[in-house]
Amino acid sequence: MSPSMDNRGMHSTIAVIDFETTGMTPAQGARATEVAIVLVQNGQVVDRFQSLLRTGVWIPPFITQLTGITNAMVAEAPAAEGVMRDAARFVGDAPMVAHNAAFDAKFWTHELTHADVPAPHAFACTVLLSRRLYPEATSHKLGNIVQHLGLPRAARAHRALADAEMAASLLTRMQQDLRTHWRVENPGHALLSTLQRCAKPKVGKLLADYATPQLVA
């Protein structure tokens, strides 16, 4: 049995990831500049991975202004391929979560492909879940929804580890709210993935009818 599985064969570990990059999409030549991953078990962060990556791709000034990551910093960083191989080993077969997962999943796949490593991981998205669970929030940007829920804000947003920690905190809060408000006993990754794809009017019914163990696998 995988170390990330509990005794029912369900994933007890979720890997929360955040990338800093040189742009919006690998399709336009953007590459990762920093990656951070935190492992969450039972609402607790149990391990952390963080590294800058050297890809040789130039970082535009506005990205440096946003993230604080400079071309000089990544020039001294380890090669991206080695970092990503280490990141893949760190994640193992744990399912993954990111804030706006479509963005991070693209870079996860792209960077692992560069490193010649398969990327079969399933992603769930805290933006989509946040819109489902907290429709009263006026903004679902990571910093804003964290503040809205009264969760601790990172001292340095737009760095990978700080953002991954905030996303992990948001994930844990959503799991707690599913337990307390919806009485879901074990709100695991598969249920979160189902919720994020569920049409909003059906969310309540899904949770009210929730009794299917495989949903939390």
Residues forming contacts to DNA in the complex (CB under 7 A) are: 18-21, 23-25, 27-28, 33, 60-63, 65-67, 99-100, 102-103, 127-128, 131-132, 135, 139-144, 158, 163, 196-197, 199-200
The CB-of-71 to DNA minimum distance in angstroms stands at 14
d(CA 91, CA 138): 33
Q: With contact defined as beta carbons under 8 Å apart, do 128 and 102 qualify?
A: no
Residue placing its CB nearer to DNA in the complex, 67 or 172: 67
The CB-of-63 to DNA minimum distance in angstroms stands at 5
Pairing type for strands 44-52 and 96-98 reads unpaired
Residue placing its CB nearer to DNA in the complex, 4 or 164: 164
Q: How far is CA 13 from CA 26, 43, 68, 169, in A?
A: 28, 10, 30, 14
Residue placing its CB nearer to DNA in the complex, 10 or 143: 143
CB atoms within 10 A of CB 60: 12
Residue placing its CB nearer to DNA in the complex, 4 or 189: 189
Contacts of 70 (CB under 8 A, 6+ apart): 59, 64
Tokens representing 5 are: 């599985």
Residue placing its CB nearer to DNA in the complex, 12 or 203: 203
The CB-of-207 to DNA minimum distance in angstroms stands at 15
The CB-of-12 to DNA minimum distance in angstroms stands at 26
The CB-of-217 to DNA minimum distance in angstroms stands at 21
The CB-of-139 to DNA minimum distance in angstroms stands at 4
Put the strands of the sheet holding 44-52 in their side by side order: 44-52, 32-41, 13-21, 96-98, 123-125
Tokens representing 104 are: 């991070």
Residue placing its CB nearer to DNA in the complex, 11 or 158: 158
